C-alpha cells in the first residue's frame, strides 16, 4: 500500500489530536476523582503530544513545499 508522506503526516496529526482529546477528558475525570497518579500520567501524555504536533505540522509544511519531489512510502514494504 503506497501513501504519500503528506497524507501520512495528516493522518498522524488527526490521530494525535483525537488522542489529545481523550487524554484531556481522562485527565479531568482523574483529577475530580482524586486519582493524582493517573491524572499525572495523562498530563505527561498530553505534554508529549503537545511537543509532537508542532513538529509534525512543520514537517507537513516542508513536504507540501517539496510535494512533487518526495517519493511515496510503502507502509508494508521491507
Residue 26 pLDDT > 90? yes
Q: What is the mean pLDDT of residues 10-36?
A: 95
Residue 4 pLDDT > 70? yes
Cα separation, 43 vs 20, whole angstroms: 10
Cα separation, 75 vs 57, whole angstroms: 21
Distances (CA, A) of 68 to 5, 6, 63, 71: 11, 11, 9, 8
pLDDT at residue 71, rounded to an integer:
58
CA 35 to chain centre: 25
Q: What is the pTM of this model?
A: 0.75
Amino acid at each position: 500500500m503506497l501513501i504519500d508522506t503528506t497524507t501520512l503526516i495528516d493522518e498522524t496529526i488527526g490521530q494525535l489530536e483525537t488522542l489529545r482529546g481523550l487524554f484531556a477528558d481522562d485527565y479531568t475525570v482523574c483529577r475530580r476523582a482524586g486519582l493524582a497518579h493517573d491524572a499525572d500520567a495523562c498530563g505527561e501524555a498530553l505534554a508529549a503530544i503537545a511537543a509532537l504536533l508542532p513538529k509534525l505540522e512543520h514537517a507537513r509544511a516542508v513536504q507540501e513545499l517539496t510535494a512533487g519531489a518526495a517519493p511515496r512510502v510503502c507502509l508494508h514494504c521491507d
